[in-house]
Chain A
Amino acid sequence: MGREAREMEARELRTVGAVTRRKDGLAKVTGTETYASDMELPYMLHARVLRSPYPHARVVSIDTSAAERMGAICITPDDVPDIRYNERQVSVPVKTYRDRTVLPWVVRQVGEGVAAVAARTEALAERAMRAIKVEWEELPAVFDAHKAMADDAPQIYENVLLGDAEFPIEHNVACFRQVSVGDVAVGFEEADLIVEREYQTGRVYHAQMEPKAALCRPLADGGIELWATLQSIHNTRQLLGRIFDLPLSRIRVHRSTIGGAFGSSIQMNTPVAICVALALKARKPVKLVLTREEDMYDHCKYPAEISLKYGVKRDGTIVAGELKTLVDIGAHNIQAYPLLGCMSGWFVSLYRMPHMNFEGTAVYTNKTPACAMQGYGNPDVSFAVESHMDIIAEKLDIDPIELRIKNYVGLGEEFWGQGPTVRSIIRSCGVEEMLRKGAPMIGWDERGRPEDKTGRYRRGIGVGRTFHTSGTGAAMPGEVIDYSTAMVTVNEDGSVDMSTALMCHGGGTLDACAKLVAEEMGVSFDLVGVSPASTTDTGYDVCTHATRGVYCGGGSAVKAAKSAKAVLLDFASRLIEVNPEALQIAPDPVTGEGVIFLEGAADKRITVGEVAKTAQLKGWGTAIAVESHRMVNCPPCFVTNFVEVEVDTWTGEVRVPRAVCAVDAGTVVNPDLAAGQLEGGLCRGIGQALLEDTAYDPVTGEMTCGGMYIDYKLYTAEDMAPVDDVKVFFADTYEPSGPFGAKGIGEAANNAVAAAVMNALQNALGIRFQFIPITPDMILAAIHGWACEGVLPA
């Protein structure tokens, strides 16, 4: 189908693009939705984990006898398989670093579990856990990535596994990655202006609403059944099979509803393997639910130090760029290698550079292990690059929007959706549309110059633009695994079941897939059901991450729907004697039921239900199809944020009174949910710009917030701009490779916000902040010229 024909199709969509009520909405708002932590099974035991109070220590001995006398089942490092694994299984094995076991003899962060107990009640489990005696040998610890690389730094690991091969760790460097295009030295020679700056982003906690939970039921045949907080049921099954030496056919992992993720469950979370080990030993179901404190010590976002250099011509054309980053990954290498690849890809794909060099170093420290969080290095790279664009624009006296339009990577150009091995050509792009349309909405031309602003309250306007990938598909296999499987069944009453191993993190991914199936099948959205899913009744799906749910997961669902429809139309053609290729399906405007018809022939008409029921009665079979599908592209969903800030120069407090958020998500599947994603991403991004970070006590290795929300603050509804002052719009685009023209949206929503906030602060105060989060303290220090780390005059 040509582009025009496809666009025509997009305009005729019935279900996709409509505001529809979420299928899980009622259960969630009435509190009847069941999460893993709500589940109870007969004879179920409750588990608690004994955690290290030290940031780095060797376990000399563990005495569980007192706990066992209390009736508790206990496990120690002696009771778990001696298998080193990586909890994230999205990369191919040869690019997977494995550094952890279910319970370790050496702990590398405060809060790392060394033993666990299961008992009849949670209170008894807690008491039994406290009765375990551990003899520790404290080891020197390091909390700073620079110090960790020094010659005299404590060695956190001697060896890890890379794939199945031993990989020595030197100077605590977990991995290093360099990616080059052209020759940067030549590029910088050609430049009229070179701008070089340092940036830094925070160690943010995911703060997903639901702390991690797992419930494992051991089965009589030696197998297990699992409900847990997960983003991939299939990867979890494969990993549990490897760790516990079980055939995958005896492991059933259920999809549980989860209370958000922000990327924190891409990997199999630490409580899962502990819970399984306990259940196998106890021979009873075991449930393990983390407290908020335990959860906060379990995962965080990758922070980044970025040194960025661009060379530009006098007219604003970028000729060379170099980005060097240092990432403090904490105690485990969950996915630092692909992270660095992705960061190089975000850098390459923001602005055209004939010459480019990227160097990334990931370093172990004795802190909470970092993992992917909404944007996966993109908010960090975009914060640096988009700050830089404003600096360059000012130096060259070019409007920042025009500089961006001159250099952005767009239609027909190459996009690196997941590092250098996952590339595709951009076939839909709303970058210019969003910048041009958004600017007057925020009052860009009236934003004024900082030197003209006076008084206690000063306002400023800033812009940030970037993108995220839609999945990690590509024409050739790369380092990243990406495909989805879906099954579509036409039921005997004309309703449709859709089954997939995709997850919904709260954004409505499963709803979106049901809508895409409804659109393809020609039945109403109400008649498409989302089946409960487990590993035994779905085909493989890599993971709901990388903003791939709608584009990749939806792509496979549409493909399955097409195949099921072909079977259905074949049955119909036998009944109404019309060639199946000539038949169409559309929902009855009153009942929503699909009606199969031949255009222009009133007597050639039959409902989907009549066909399915007749096929069943006559024994023809079921109109059902399963499709495994890999997308061969990873189209960027572009995003643009305009933000206005108001600074109280007496207290350093910053408000965001207005914002404009725009996304190019191709065909928008549900405008209300898409707007919700943008508003949520705005809120989270402002939080990362102004509030969110985790600091560590350099003596105890504990977080200064103690793992509690009392001193870990997120931006809330009470802090956000009034809803009428946050304007949202969608670029008018159509992605030719996407299901009904759709691309992703989720991570994009957050990626450019911090940059927009910092650019707005510069416009308000004339001060360029390069470290985030920027606190009222730092703002006052900058205004008054007090010494303060992370504040540099413009």
Chain B
Amino acid sequence: MKLESYVRPAGLEEALAVLAAPGPKALVFAGGTDLVPMMRKMRMNGTLLNGDSPRVILDLSKLDELCGIRKAGGMLEIGAATTMGVIAADPSVKKLVPVLAAAAASVGSPLVRNRATLGGNLVTASPSADTAPALLAAGAVVRLAGAEGGPRELPLSEFFVAYRKTALQPGEIVTHVLVPLAGRPVAGRFEKVGLRNADAISVVCAACEIELEGSTCRAARIGLGAVAAVPVRALAVEAALLGREITADVAAECARLVHEHISPIDDVRASAQYRGWVAEAVVARMITDTAREAGA
């Protein structure tokens, strides 16, 4: 890559100004755990030789405004540049949004988790991003900022537009991820099937949060990854669970509806057939285990 400059802005304002500047588009960089392998892959197959590759790298990883976790306005506010390692170990995340802590802890290896950021995991918009289903289950909202106009907020379910495409407008970045605190803690689980335990990309990942009254489901949110072009909510499964007493049989019956929302593909890690089967099995198991752990 013909890099002409590397910019580490002093503040968010400067970062947004760099992005809005005329000329070659800057490439946003935080942990680099997706970007660097991508650059190396392009180097291998020669695509970086094309002249239109980005010339400016904008490093957001040291922006204080984008790092850290705090409670504000009834929300748990997580800076987009907060690393997976920090999120996985954070006491408030572990207590209030355990599905996110579990998802963050399952990303890559310790080395990757010390660099990879939550914002990066979402902006890359990989269908297999582990934190996406957890945040979908937690009903998260993303806050976006650009040089013009004020920041805007968007439910995460509207953020993923198409395969590796997000609702970010040119010049915009994700600054924070917000999880509503009302009703927390809530029963939930994160599940991941990969090719091995350590440092593996998900073949299927899933998360759920279920509000229970006794053993009856009062509300449910289920997120799924690596089974469609984008991370998806399993709305039909959620609807079917409402008002039901959760047993293994009910969970298995409702989980069958997962196929309405998924469109898995064959890739280097697994076949579409396998992903479909396992998505259903994982959702059934996840619902059953969540209810059991909640004492239902």
Q: Closest Cβ of chain B: how far from A360's Cβ, in Å?
A: 30
Question: What is the CA–CA distance of A258 and B273 in the complex, to the nearest angstrom?
Answer: 43
Please name all residues of chain B whose beta carbon is closer than 8 Å to the beta carbon of A710 when the two chains form the complex: 37, 201
Question: Do B274 and A780 touch across chains, with their CB atoms under 8 A apart?
Answer: yes
For residue B169, CB closer than 8 A to chain A, the reply is: no
B193 at the interface (CB under 8 A from A): yes
Judge whether B200 and A708 touch: CB under 8 Å: no
Q: Is A444 an interface residue (CB 8 A)?
A: no
- Interfacial residues of chain A within 699-735, with CB under 8 A of chain B in the complex: 700, 702, 704-708, 710-711, 713, 715-719
Name the B residues within 8 Å of A775 (CB-CB).
Answer: 195, 270
Contacts of A650 on B, CB cut-off 8 Å? 278, 281-282, 285
Q: A651-B278, A713-B200, A780-B277 are in contact. Are A708 and B193 (CB under 8 A)?
A: no
Report chain A residues within 8 Å CB of B197. 716, 718-719
A130 at the interface (CB under 8 A from B): yes
Residue A680 CB within 8 A of the other chain: no
Residues of A within 8 A of B45 (CB): 53, 700, 702, 706
User: 0/1 per residue, B243-278, Cβ < 8 Å to A?
Assistant: 000000000000000000000000011110110011
- Choose among A695, A707, A777 the residue with the greatest number of B CB atoms under 10 Å from its CB: A777
Q: Are A706 and B44 in contact (CB under 8 A)?
A: yes
* B154 in the interface (beta carbon within 8 A): no
Assuming A130-B49, A651-B193, is B268 touching A716 (CB within 8 A)?
A: no
The minimal Cβ–Cβ distance linking A128 to chain B, given in whole angstroms, is 14
Which residues on B sit within 8 Å (CB–CB) of A293? Answer: 40, 44
Taking residues whose C-beta sits less than 8 angstroms from the other chain, chain A's interface range is 20 to 34
Nearest A-chain residue to B197, judged by Cβ: A718
Are A776 and B268 CB-contacts (below 8 A) given A53-B46, A691-B196, A710-B37?
no
Chain A residues within an 8 Å CB radius of B289: none
Chain B residue at minimal CB-CB distance from A695: B268
Chain B residue nearest in CB terms to A720: B197
A708 near B198: Cβ-Cβ < 8 Å: no
Q: Is B285 a contact partner of A786 (Cβ separation < 8 A)?
A: no
Shortest CB–CB separation between residue A210 and chain B, in angstroms? 18
- Contact among B201, B278, B285 for A711, CB-based, below 8 A: B201
- Chain A residues near B277: list those with CB within 8 A: 780, 784
CB of A652 within 8 Å of the partner chain: yes
Within 8 Å of chain A (Cβ to Cβ): is B199?
yes
Residues of B within 8 A of A719 (CB): 196-198
B184 in the interface (beta carbon within 8 A): no
CB interface residues, B 14-46, toward A, < 8 Å: 37, 40-41, 44-46
Are A715's CB and B268's CB within 8 A?
no
Residues of chain A within 8 A of B44, CB atoms compared: 293, 702, 706-707
Cα A708 to Cα B197 with chains together (Å)? 18
Chain B residues, Cβ within 8 Å of A194: none
Partner of B198, one of A652, A704, A707, A716: A716
A408 to B207, CA, bound (A): 52
Q: In the complex, which residues 186-203 of chain B have their Cβ closer than 8 Å to any Cβ of chain A?
A: 193, 195-201, 203
* Contact A713 B195, beta carbon cutoff 8 Å: yes
Q: Are B37 and A652 in contact (CB under 8 A)?
A: no
| A653–B193 touching, CB < 8 Å | yes
Assess whether A781 is interfacial by the CB under 8 Å rule: yes
Q: Which chain A residue lies CB-closest to B285?
A: A650
Would you call A713 and B46 a contact (CB within 8 A)?
Answer: no
Q: Which B residues are in CB contact (< 8 Å) with A291?
A: 40
Residues from 618 to 660 in A contacting B, C-beta threshold 8 Å: 650-653
Shortest Cβ-Cβ A-B pairs, 8 listed: A718-B198, A650-B281, A777-B274, A718-B197, A716-B198, A704-B268, A719-B197, A719-B196
Which residues of chain A have a CB within 8 Å of any CB of chain B? 53, 130, 291, 293, 650-653, 691, 695, 700, 702, 704-708, 710-711, 713, 715-719, 775-777, 780-781, 784, 786
12 A-B pairs within 8 Å (CB atoms) are namely A53-B46, A130-B49, A293-B44, A650-B281, A652-B278, A704-B268, A708-B40, A710-B37, A711-B201, A718-B197, A776-B278, A781-B274
**Given A711-B201, A713-B195, A786-B273, 10 extra CB contacts under 8 A:** A53-B45, A650-B278, A650-B285, A651-B281, A691-B196, A702-B45, A704-B268, A710-B37, A716-B197, A777-B270
